[in-house]
């Protein structure tokens, strides 16, 4: 799973979404960010459900080592939703599929 860059914009900017942003330890604000396009080997998930993980709490509380994050950032990686964009080279998935995500990186 790849997290797209966080591009913050003004409320009402076309192509943006509302998101919770950790500005600093202990400080989360609702902001607006651009909705990224997906590449040819990627899918984009419109998130409908999100869980709060222990690592999210550690980050919010300042207990997580700074090499794992930088602020501002979006928290949350335990999510479920619907594919709203599918890259041209993706096989076996289509727009409208319900999915869950795991944050496991690899090659």
**CATH of residue 64:** 3.90.180.10
Our measurement of the distance from residue 83's CA atom to the centroid of its chain's CA atoms, rounded to an integer in Å, reads 13
Measure the CA–CA gap between 46 and 80, rounded to whole angstroms: 8
Percent of the chain with pLDDT over 70: 90
Measure the CA–CA gap between 104 and 107, rounded to whole angstroms: 10
Q: Which two tokens stand for residue 106?
A: 């690899």
Structural domains of the chain, count: 1
pTM tops 0.85: no
Measure the CA–CA gap between 101 and 42, rounded to whole angstroms: 13
Nearest partner of 80 among 56, 55, 48, judged by Cα: 48
Q: Give the pLDDT of residue 69.
A: 73
* Within a domain: 12: yes
* Within a domain: 106: no
Low-confidence winner among 3-7, 26-30, 95-99 (lowest mean pLDDT): 3-7
* Within a domain: 23: yes
* Within a domain: 105: no
* Within a domain: 53: yes
* Within a domain: 52: yes
* pLDDT for residue 56 is more than 80: yes
- What average pLDDT does the structure give for the chain? 87
* pLDDT for residue 107 is more than 70: no
How many angstroms separate the Cα of 27 from the Cα of each of 20, 35, 57, 73? Answer: 10, 23, 12, 11
Contacts of residue 26, Cβ cutoff 8 Å, sequence gap at least 6: 60, 61, 62
For 55, the 3-state DSSP assignment is helix
Q: What is the mean pLDDT of residues 58-62?
A: 89
* pLDDT classification of 87: cutoffs 50, 70, 90: very high
Total residues belonging to the chain? 107
């Amino acid at each position: 799973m790849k997290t797209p860059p966080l591009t913050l914009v003004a409320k009402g900017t076309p192509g943006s979404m509302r998101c919770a942003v950790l500005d600093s330890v202990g400080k989360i604000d609702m902001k607006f960010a651009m909705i990224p396009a997906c590449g040819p080997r990627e899918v984009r998930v419109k998130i409908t459900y999100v869980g709060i993980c222990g690592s999210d709490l550690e980050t919010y509380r300042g207990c997580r080592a700074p090499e794992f994050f930088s602020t501002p950032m979006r928290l949350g990686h335990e999510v479920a939703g619907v594919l709203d964009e599918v890259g041209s080279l993706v096989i076996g998935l289509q727009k409208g599929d319900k999915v869950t995500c795991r944050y496991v990186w690899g090659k």
